[in-house]
Chain A
Amino acid sequence: MTLRTDHIAGLIFVAFGLLVFALSGDLPFGTLSFPGAGMMPKLAAGSLIFFALLLILRANESEPIATVPWGDLPHATRVVAITAAAIALYQTLGFLITMPLLLFALTFGTERRNPLVAAAFSIGAVALTYLLFAVALKTPLERGVFGFWLWVR
C-alpha cells in the first residue's frame, strides 16, 4: 500500500481528537435539557475524528506522501527559529532592540544579504515603523525592561 498525504493527515487529526477527549475528562457533558461545558468540545472532537476517518478511507484520491516537496523546510525552520527567538525576547528587550535584531537575523542570517545593507535596512525600517506607530499613530509599542520609548517622549 502506498502511504498518502491523507493517511498521515487523517491519523494526526484522529490522534488530536482522542487527545481532546482525554483532556475533557473533567468537563461535564450535561443533559440535553441543560447541556454542560463539555458538550460542544466533545461533539466537535467526535466530528473531527469522524471526518479524519473519512479522509483516511478516501486517501487514495490524495498524493503519495513521497511526492510532497519539502525543499522549503530548511528555510521555513530557520524563519520559525528566528521568529521564536524574537518573540521570547520581545517583552524583555522591547520593540527598539528586538526588531532590528529580528530583521538583521532574517536578511543576513537567512537570506545571506550584505551585512552592511542588512544592518542599514534593519535599523532604518524599525526607525520608520517606530515613528509611524508610536509618534504618528500614538500606538504605544512594547518598550521592554529598558524603557526606550521614553526617549521620544
Chain B
Amino acid sequence: MGTVESLLLGFSVALQPDVLLYAFLGCLIGTLVGVLPGIGPLSGISILLPVTFGLDTTKSVVMLAGIYYGSQYGGSTTAILMRLPGEAASVMTCIDGHAMAQKGRAGAALCIAAVGSWVAGTFGVIMLTLIAPPLAAFALRFGPPEYTALLVLGLIFLAYMSSTSLPRTLLMACLGLLLGTVGIDNMTGHFRYSFDIAELGDGIGIVPVAIGLFGLGEILSTPSAKVVGKVIAPKLRQLLPSRREWRQAAMPIARGSVLGFLIGLTPGSAHIISSFLSYGVERRLSKHPEEFGKGAVAGVAGPESANNAASTGAFVPMLALGLPTGPITAVLIAALMIHGVPPGPTLVNEHPNIFWGFVASMYVGNLMLLALNLPLVSIFVNVLRIPYAYLYPLVIMFCIIGVYEVSHSIIDVWIMLIMGVVGYGLRKFGLDPAPLVLGLVIAPTFEMSLRQSLIMSNGNWTIFFQRPIAAVLLAVCAMLLGLAALSLIRRRRDWRSRLAEAEAGENR
C-alpha cells in the first residue's frame, strides 16, 4: 500500500465521529495544560493515562498525543499574556510575546503564535508521513546488537544535546537504568531489589516516576506566593496581525518549522531546545536585532513554530523505532504497550489502522487547535485567573488518582511521592530529571538486547563492531563523545553553554 492510500485509510479512521471527539478532547485538555503554569504536558498525559484504559488504542493515543501538541499551542497564551511560560518550551515566547502585549499587540502575538504553530505542526506531520514508514522498514533489519547500539546512541545523543554537562546527564541516565532493573529478571527469574514487596516484582513504573519527578516535583519547587501575574486580556477584534506583521512572521515560521522538526528527531528536550535555538537564529538573521526583547514579531513566530514542529518530529523515532526521545514520548510508548501494541518497526505493518489513524488525526488536530485557540482565547484567559493556591491542590489530587488508577497499587503512589521529593532535590542541585525517566524507560530493552547480543556471540563483545549498522551507530557515539571531550578540553563556549546561560537567565 502506498503512502497516499495509507493516509486515506488513516483519514477514514481519524474522521470517525468518536475518534474526532477524542482528538478534540485531547486538544482542549492539552491547551488547558499548556495554559496553566505548573502543569506540563507530561503530568497532563500521565494523569489522564488511566482514563484511556476503557478506550481502544487508536482513541487513546489520539487523545494523549493531542494533549502533547495541544500543550505547545496553549503554552504561548500564558507566555504572551502573563509573561509566565505555561510550559518550558514557551520560555522564549515570554520575552517578545509579552513585550508585544504591552504595546497593545497581544492579539496579534497570539494569532502569529497560533498560525505559526499550525504551519509547523502540519509541516511536521507531512514529514512524519513521509519519513516514518521507510525508517520503520529499515529498522526491521535490527537485531539485538543494533538495538543495543541504538539505545547507547540515544543516551549519548541526549547527553551531548543537553544544556547541562555530559557527566550530569549520563549520571541521571545511569540512575534511571538502575531503577529500571528493579523487579523480576525476565531471563533468570531472580527478584532484584524488591525487598519482599510483591508490587515491586513488576518493576518501577514510568507513570509514578514521571508524575513524581515532573508533576509533584514542580509543585514542591513552586511556593504559591511566587505565582502572581497580571493577565492582559485581548479583545477578539484585535486578534488579526497587520500586513507588516505577517510579512515579518513568514520566514521565521518557515525556518522554525524546519529547524524544530530536525531537532525533534533527536533525543532530549527537543521542543525546549528548538525554541531556544530558533530564537537565537532569528536574532542573528534579523536586520534589526535590537528589536529582540522589545516585541520583535520574529521572536514569537520562530520559537513557537519550532517547538510545535519538534513535538511532532519526536513522534518519528517513537513510532518508527520504538525509541523514546524524551519523557513524554516514553509515557506515550507506555500507553501503547498498556493496550498491547508495541511501538516500533512492526507498528506500520501490523497495526496500520492505529499508525495511519494517528498520523491523520494529527492533521485534523492541528486544524482543531487553530480553530480552538484564537476564538476561545478569552475563556483560556479566565482559567489563568484561578489562584495557584487552589490549583496545585487539585493537581496533587489528580496525580494521586492518575498513579493509583494505573494498577490500583498504593505502592506506586508512594513511589510517586518519593520521586516528587527526589525531583525537588534534583532541581536544588541543578540536575535535570529527564534523562532519569529516559534511562528507566529504555532499561528493560537495553538489558535484554545487551544480554541477547552477548549470548548470540558467546560472550564476544566484538559483535557490536562486526555488524555494520551497530558499528556505524557506535562510531557516531564515539564521534559525539570525542566532540564533547574536545569542547571540555578547550573550555570553549559552544551553543550548548550559551543555551544553558540563556535558560538560567530566564529562570532567574
Is B134 an interface position by the 8 A CB rule? no
Interface 0/1 of A27-41, CB less than 8 Å to B: 110011111111111
Instruction: Give the chain A neighbours of B459 by CB distance below 8 A.
Output: 31-34
Q: Are B177 and A139 in contact (CB under 8 A)?
A: no
Instruction: Give the chain B neighbours of A72 by CB distance below 8 A.
Output: 220-223, 226
Q: Are B51 and A33 in contact (CB under 8 A)?
A: no
Stretch with Cβ within 8 A of A (4 or more), from B36-44, B297-305, B385-393: B385-393
Q: Are A102 and B410 in contact (CB under 8 A)?
A: no
Interface residues contributed by chain B, number (CB under 8 Å): 63
With both chains docked as a complex, state the minimum distance between the C-beta of A23 and any C-beta of chain B, in angstroms.
6
Instruction: Give the chain B neighbours of A31 by CB distance below 8 A.
Output: 459
Is B167 an interface position by the 8 A CB rule? yes
Q: Are B187 and A37 in contact (CB under 8 A)?
A: yes
B392-424: which residues lie under 8 A (CB-CB) from chain A?
392-394, 396-398, 400-401, 404-405, 408, 410, 413-414, 417, 420-421, 424
Given contacts A40-B443, A47-B170, A68-B429, could you give 4 more A-B pairs where the C-beta distance is less than 8 Å? A36-B188, A41-B193, A44-B177, A137-B51
Selected contact of B181 from candidates A40, A87, A113, CB within 8 Å: A40
Interface residues contributed by chain A, number (CB under 8 Å): 65
Q: Are A87 and B167 in contact (CB under 8 A)?
A: no
Q: Are A9 and B220 in contact (CB under 8 A)?
A: no
Q: Which residue on A lies nearest to B429, using beta carbons? A: A9
Instruction: Give the chain A neighbours of B410 by CB distance below 8 A.
Output: 87, 90-91
Of listed B51, B219, B397, B450, residue having the most chain A CB within 10 A: B397
* Cα-based distance from A95 to B216 in the complex (angstroms): 19
Q: Are A41 and B174 in contact (CB under 8 A)?
A: no
Is B503 an interface position by the 8 A CB rule? no
Residues of A within 8 A of B (CB): 5-6, 8-9, 13, 16, 20, 23, 27-28, 31-41, 44-45, 47-48, 51-52, 54-55, 58, 61-63, 68, 70-72, 75-76, 79-80, 83-84, 86-87, 90-91, 95, 99, 102-103, 106-107, 111, 113, 121, 125-126, 129, 133, 137-139, 141-142
Interface of A: prevailing SS: helix
Is B138 an interface position by the 8 A CB rule? no
With both chains docked as a complex, state the minimum distance between the C-beta of B390 and any C-beta of chain A, in angstroms.
6
* Cα-based distance from A20 to B178 in the complex (angstroms): 9
Of listed B190, B221, B429, residue having the most chain A CB within 10 A: B429
With both chains docked as a complex, state the minimum distance between the C-beta of A4 and any C-beta of chain B, in angstroms.
10
Q: Are B417 and A83 in contact (CB under 8 A)?
A: yes
Mind listing 8 A-B residue pairs with CB under 8 Å?
A: A34-B454, A41-B193, A47-B177, A51-B170, A55-B171, A71-B223, A75-B224, A83-B216
